[in-house]
Amino acid sequence: MFDVKYGLAEIVGKENVSDDSSAIERYARDESFTARMPPVCVVKAASAEQVQGIVKLANETKTTLVPVSSTGLHRKGDTVPSVPGSVIVDMSGMKRILNVNRQQRMVVVEPGVTYGELQAALASQGMEISIPLAPRAGKSVLSSVLDMEPRLNALHQWNFIDPLRCTEVVWGDGNRMFTGDGGMGPLDLSKQWKAEKWQVSGTGPMMLDFYRLLTGSQGTMGIVTWASLKCEVKATIRKTYLVPAGAVEDLVDFAYRVIRQRFSSDLMIMSGGYLASLLGDSASEVVALSRELPPWVALVGVAGFEILPEEKVKAQEEDISEIAQQFGLEMLPAVPGAKGDRVMSRMRDTGRKESWKATYKGAFQDIFFTTTLDKAPLYIDAMRELANEAGFPAGDIGVYLQPQNMGTSYHCEFCLPYRAADSREAEVAMKLFVKASETMSAMGAYFLRPHGMWAALQLNKDAKSAEMLKSLKGVFDPNDIMNTGKLAV
Amino acid sequence: MALSREIYGALEAIVGARNISEDSGVLETYRCAAAQSSAHYGPYDHKTPRPQAVLLPGSTEEVQGIVRICNRHSVKFKASSTFWSAMGFIDDDNAIQLDMRRMRSIEIDEKNMYAIIEPYAIGAVVQAEAMKVGLTMNMPGVGCSSSPLASSAGWVGFGPTSISMGCASENMLGSEWVLASGELIKTGSLGAGSGWFCGEGPGPSTRGVLRGFQGSTGSLGVCTRMAIRLHPWPGPTCIPSRGTVPAYKAELPDNFKCYTLCFKDWDDYAKGIALIHENDVLFLGHRQFNMFGRDLKTAMLKILTDPDGQLCDIPALVADPELKKVNDDMKIDIQVIIAGTTKRDAEYKDKALDKILELSGGWKSEFMLDKEMVDYVLMYMIRMGHKNLNYVYCGGYEGNFGLSSNLFVSARVMEEASALKRKWETETNYIAATGGDSDMGSICVIGGGGPTGWEFFTHFDSYDKPSIKGTADFFNDTQRWMLEKGLGLDMGHWNQDARHEDGHAFTQEEHDAIFSKAAQPLITAYQYKIRDIVNPKHLCGSYYRTLTPSKIGL
Amino acid sequence: MAFEEYRPMMERCSNCLGCKWIPFDKIKSQRFGENCPSIGYYNFNTYAVRGRFQLGLALLTKDAELSETVTKAIHGCTTCGACDVSCKITRYNLEPYEYNLALKAHAVEQGKLRPKQKEIIESLAKEKTMIVGKTRSSRTAWADGLGLVDMTKGKADVMFFAGCKASYDEKLQKVARASVKVLQGAGVKVGFLAGSEMCCAVRAEQMGFRDEFEKNARANIKLFADAGVKTIVTPCSDCYQAFKRRYAALGLQVQVYHVVEYIEKLIKEGALKLKTPVPLTVTYHDPCHLGRLGEPYVPWKGGERKILNQVHIWEPRRPRYNGSKGVYDAPRNVLKSIPGLKLVEMERIREYSWCCGAGGGCSETDTELSRWTASERVTEANATGAEAIATACPWCEANFRGTPDENGKTIEVFDIVELVERAL
């Protein structure tokens, strides 16, 4: 029987195909409750040509591929194979930043580029990339963007999937193309750049929105080998303020108003305990901060850029402060336990090896979905009740509400921290995770990014979408070799 | 050949006798004259085919019933909301036309800032309803008489406010479609009944099947409802409109500022626009009045703002030396509006704009600072209710060039493009001689700036056959020039591969011959496969470009 | 203009969609944003003037025929002129109103009529009124006892022309009577044409019977001249438009006032004092033929040509007839002069007012369209919270009278003159 490792070795070189136990174990499971499934090997790809070769081989040999771009601990289950005989395609070594264009505010990155690496490269050109909340050091920008991780600045998220623009993709059928306006030119970036085409517009290029078939797909349609991303102008002044409250309901109308008036460079709502996890460097510090910090806090950022930055910041500080007062709140540079500039630094920290969420108890499970802000308190109440029923300490549950898409919807996240070494705690956390996911889904939560069990939860309620996704899978990955078993398709 | 009585009867049973017709006279009013609003196709002295019947469905269920019958009997169909452009009309002799006029509901979720709309809820009424609750929408550049649903589902949909609000595809949330197969799909958060608020997903976005850079122009089925994002409107709940027809003017509070920014050359223009893109200062930006032509814009502004003004006033106005100075001052110009959500916000943005002008060497036109002019422009630009002035000279208009989405590339070639048009204006009499440069368009085509669109307005007489033919010849010449410059497809030809001059569809073989030569033929080959899922019987015409996959070994 | 001469317009209409809506700048809501009763009721594109242009072209090219459906569509137009106003916001070389009349005339010339039209025209010929069933001899019964001067025999300051509707409709004769009493009370010597009086016939033109209109118009012009008429005052907007614009084009050279204009004049001169409060909230309905279609005729002789290759102009400057010079302020000023009266406005007013549905002969020949149009207006009036509609045209009043809105609620209807009479 043909051993796929030999075919892979011919494509990437023997030294880049590994089946030793540490490599296998690294991908056989992740930090989620996903069932263990070891791959047969891990292959390190270094170029799009190699990726294409790997995909073609996989089609010939009916081998499942699981693409991975980030390093460090994975937590959503999408990097763990669902079927035996899978091969991990590790692109974390593809670290080229192919182009930085200040004039167009664009950058083109390979899958292995991390947020820290990208920010450093862009800073010299007076730019930065929008980020999610404190991504870990090994997080691939490309995979984060494809997974539609919520960005901090909803008001610059005109397109839900910003900053993603064009991509180069190797589809599951082995064909390679560019999506977006990149698809209208030759299949060669340098030729496009010579013609002053900078892969700025991500839609299409014609009537099919190819890149929207890749976002949220968990690697089930194809493998992206570069992406062009829209950059932000780097702020010359940046400040973060805190608006404390006793109940999340007290912050809802405030957030609505601030977003509606198009103020803030970033805004989110967090439970005090979750903020403590972000700020604390140890479990004990997290516990201590939790006691000091208010139960709820809105974190409001203001920033100035090239044009009259001080005036802009001052105007927004005053305006947002007035909005806070109208709702009986105060916008403060600090609260007991937290100063604005430390919060800001932690929010934007891209260098932590481990996720900040692990600081408290070492292990955690996130439940996240998309909703509108007015419904968030209902989900929060429901989660509290479920935690009490499950015997999980409700006060430990972190809550994070992040506006997206100019405020039309919100990312709603619950973090369930637990000690992995304590089997009872882990079991309680797992049961709560499952029960809460089911309950939230039944309440109408929208699992936009349907990882793990959420895929079935979401798609079982939406037969037509499920059918469409299956059909799309049939087009782009007819032999079902791309992350087989994921997304319930 | 008329529809069989069996098919007609089945369709009539769905919509009711009052909402279906096969009278030849009625059907004639559902043919597009390709010399009138053909939309990047033509112009041609020809009409699209006559439908076999026209139907007015009143609900999604009725649409689905109709489409199922079409599938059963292989009858082609196309739906249109307002019939503004050729795209909505059928392209086959064995086809029926759906007129979506009866589906026009609007529901607004004020708190979460979106509106759920049906096809015939035109931009003007959606905006009017939204303003009642302090909101507004991105009005597509085609004007408020068009359907925002159609703009989102069917075409591109950028407009003057895209800089602050995003373009149609960016404002698209959950949606409901009757696919050409007869199946009903709800996209995004709507699919599982969570609500309309999110247009993406679940996982991969099903909406990606139904529109890309441009919508599917009705060729994959019928979009029956859609949620579109709304945006804050820091003005009165109803635009106070005064003045004598047609010179209506708005009077808005001080947090609204309206300017015409002028630059000495295209390099400065590009610099200024790029700074504007990067700095969140504008509510709206549109190079609007240059559509009348470089030589005639201020004359037209004088005429339009004078209730007694007429086109015969043009020569005297153009010859007026004082007005000529103003016109020269505004040679390279763009209209902008600032709308502060608070007094401080307005003040900051106003100062920031002044700073941008200082950095880019631009200035504000004094002529356009006159209160009557400001109020006219505010009304015009916010409601986009005078978009149909693109037909003002004689009735025919089409857009061409397009240049490049890269502002800096377009800036470099602008004068050459202008000179090419001017050559046609002076050496032939096919197109109105408006002074070469008649570019108009949004300050950017997506939210936050970056890509731009540079459409030249070419005016001709849709009654004058040589003018129609000459305009088409002019577009062939601009296409030649665009290709020589490496600028790609001329805007006047964007839909030239969507239907033939006689209004009929392209065959698959013809499309294969075209798209097999594309730089990346996979694009249209995959579109073929998608069409097989969504529209297996190919019932909705050839605007949806496809390449038979086997032609490239797919 | 002959129907075929409209071909350039048919081909220059660019399908801009403006003709289906009030001027976009004026839209305040979805509910009251549309302007055309015809497409509003029937929905097919055919019914808006854009569709009518296409239809006309198809008839000329023989791609369509005057079927029953087409005939109904052509005549199913109240000739309200709303499309004309909207079109002319952005176009300077189309005349939708005149074209609609020409299209109807074309259908009539081909013998394609609607039921009732034949008897209406026969009544005009025989009884000099288009109100079927009425006789010429009973036309001026409403004037008994008012002491009007017969101007075929004597002199008066003004010739009062009641119009057929106010003359024959028993519920509206009060309008004619009130008008006379108000004028007389202000010291005006009011005359009329007594038994010689004939219908203005403008509704014949509105239905497409151009020859019949012109014949009657010329007869009236001669009658007015023979009677030495210098000033006409009428309470009927149709008649007002007839004299002000259509008759003037045929040579009539007299001053024409709508009674509300004359009352405004009297109030300004101090000849009329309104002292008695009328505690009522009303909303004013602008009649099409007093407002946008009531612009004065401006003689013009010139030609068309193109400048700058393809810019189509007329020289010398041609009157636009875009509704800007209609009578909108006089009725409002009069209402505002009535003590205790409160005026609230509907959304569609002045040159973009919604039609009452009576015009174009539709109150007789397309009653469903006519009633629906009126009901739409009553809905709009009730939405203001007003207790009553005030208007200045007996055709409008008759159409609103007793018409339920979309919720089944009716509204009281007054002529302005009635309210003025109450305020004396």
Subunit contact B529:A475, Cβ cutoff 8 A: yes
User: Residue B196's Cα: distance from chain center in Å?
Assistant: 24
Kindly report the CATH class assigned to C117-269. alpha beta
Contact residues, chain C, for B17 at CB < 8 Å: none
pLDDT at site A303:
98
Express each pLDDT in A207-255 by its tens digit: 999 999 999 999 999 999 999 999 999 999 999 999 999 999 999 999 9
Is residue B417 pLDDT above 80, yes or no?
Answer: yes
Interface of C with B in 20-49 (CB under 8 A): 21, 23-30, 33, 43-46
State how far the Cα of B58 lies from the Cα of B62, in Å rounded to an integer. Answer: 6
Is residue B1 pLDDT above 80, yes or no?
Answer: no
State how far the Cα of C4 lies from the Cα of B15, in Å rounded to an integer. Answer: 36
Instruction: Identify the sign of the CA torsion C255, C258, C262, C265.
Output: negative
Strand ranges inside A179-234, DSSP E: 222-230, 232-233
Mean pLDDT along residues C158-172: 97
State how far the Cα of B422 lies from the Cα of B436, in Å rounded to an integer. Answer: 4
pLDDT at site C124:
98
Cβ pair C281, C257 in contact under 8 A: no
For the whole prediction, is pTM greater than 0.90? yes
Q: Which residue in chain C is spatially nearest to B432 when comparing CA positions?
A: C310
Subunit contact B432:C309, Cβ cutoff 8 A: yes
Of residues C294, C196, C279, C184, the one with CA closest to residue C247: C294
Cβ pair A263, A324 in contact under 8 A: no
Cβ pair B463, C60 in contact under 8 A: no
Is residue B42 pLDDT above 90, yes or no?
Answer: no
* Whether residue B119 has a cis bond before it, omega within 30° of 0: no
pLDDT at site B19:
98
3-state secondary structure (DSSP) of residue B285: strand
State how far the Cα of C300 lies from the Cα of C315, in Å rounded to an integer. Answer: 10
Mean pLDDT along residues C171-185: 97
pLDDT at site B36:
85
Subunit contact C310:B430, Cβ cutoff 8 A: yes
Is residue A3 pLDDT above 90, yes or no?
Answer: no
Contact residues, chain C, for B23 at CB < 8 Å: 67, 69-70
Q: What's the 3-state SS for C383-421?
A: HCCCCEEEECCHHHHHHHCCCCCCCCCCCEEEEHHHHHH
State how far the Cα of C198 lies from the Cα of B30, in Å rounded to an integer. Answer: 43
For B5-102, CATH gives 3.30.43.10
Q: At what angle do helices C416-423 and C329-337 cross, to 10 degrees?
A: 30
How many Å lie between the alpha carbon of B245 and the closest alpha carbon of chain C?
Answer: 6
Of C17, C43, C90, the CB nearest to B389: C90
Of C29, C63, C85, the CB nearest to B28: C63
Express each pLDDT in C222-251 by its tens digit: 999 999 999 999 999 999 999 999 999 999
Per-domain boundaries in chain C: 1-112, 117-269
Domain A237-443 annotated CATH 3.50.50.60: no
Share of chain C above pLDDT 70, in %: 100
**Other CB atoms closer than 10 Å to residue A172's CB: what's the count?**
27
pLDDT band at B39 (very low <50, low <70, confident <90, very high): confident
How many Å lie between the alpha carbon of A462 and the closest alpha carbon of chain B?
Answer: 5
How many Å lie between the alpha carbon of A162 and the closest alpha carbon of chain B?
Answer: 10
pLDDT at site B222:
97
Of B30, B37, B462, the CB nearest to C45: B30
Express each pLDDT in C43-57 by its tens digit: 999 999 999 999 999
**DSSP bridge pairs for B333:** B262
- ipTM field: 0.97
pLDDT at site B2:
81
Of the candidate CATH numbers 3.50.50.60, 3.40.50.300, 3.90.1150.10, 3.40.462.10, the domain formed by B245-493 belongs to 3.40.462.10
pLDDT band at A1 (very low <50, low <70, confident <90, very high): low
How many Å lie between the alpha carbon of B540 and the closest alpha carbon of chain A?
Answer: 14
pLDDT at site B129:
98
Query: Chain B contact for C13, CB < 8 A?
Result: yes
Express each pLDDT in B495-509 by its tens digit: 999 999 999 999 999
How many Å lie between the alpha carbon of C317 and the closest alpha carbon of chain B?
Answer: 7
Kindly report the CATH class assigned to B106-232. alpha beta
- Contacting subunits of B (3+ beta carbon pairs below 8 A): A, C
Which two structure tokens, joined as six digits, stand for C199? Answer: 């219908």
In this structure, chain C runs to a length of 424
> Mean pLDDT of all residues in chain A?
96
Query: Chain C contact for B239, CB < 8 A?
Result: yes
Express each pLDDT in C371-384 by its tens digit: 999 999 999 999 99
* Whether residue B160 has a cis bond before it, omega within 30° of 0: no
Cα dist from A269 to A319, B104, B512, C226, whole Å: 19, 38, 53, 87
Express each pLDDT in B255-299 by its tens digit: 999 999 999 999 999 999 999 999 999 999 999 999 999 999 999
State how far the Cα of A190 lies from the Cα of A208, in Å rounded to an integer. Answer: 25
Query: Chain C contact for B245, CB < 8 A?
Result: yes
pLDDT at site A2:
66
Cα dist from B163 to A73, A177, A196, A235, B290, whole Å: 39, 30, 22, 20, 19
Q: Which residue in chain B is spatially nearest to A187 when comparing CA positions?
A: B520
Domain A1-234+451-489 annotated CATH 3.90.45.10: no
Subunit contact C54:B296, Cβ cutoff 8 A: no
Express each pLDDT in A126-157 by its tens digit: 999 999 999 999 999 999 999 999 999 999 99
Dihedral, CA of residue A172, residue A174, residue A179 and residue A183, to nearest 10: -160
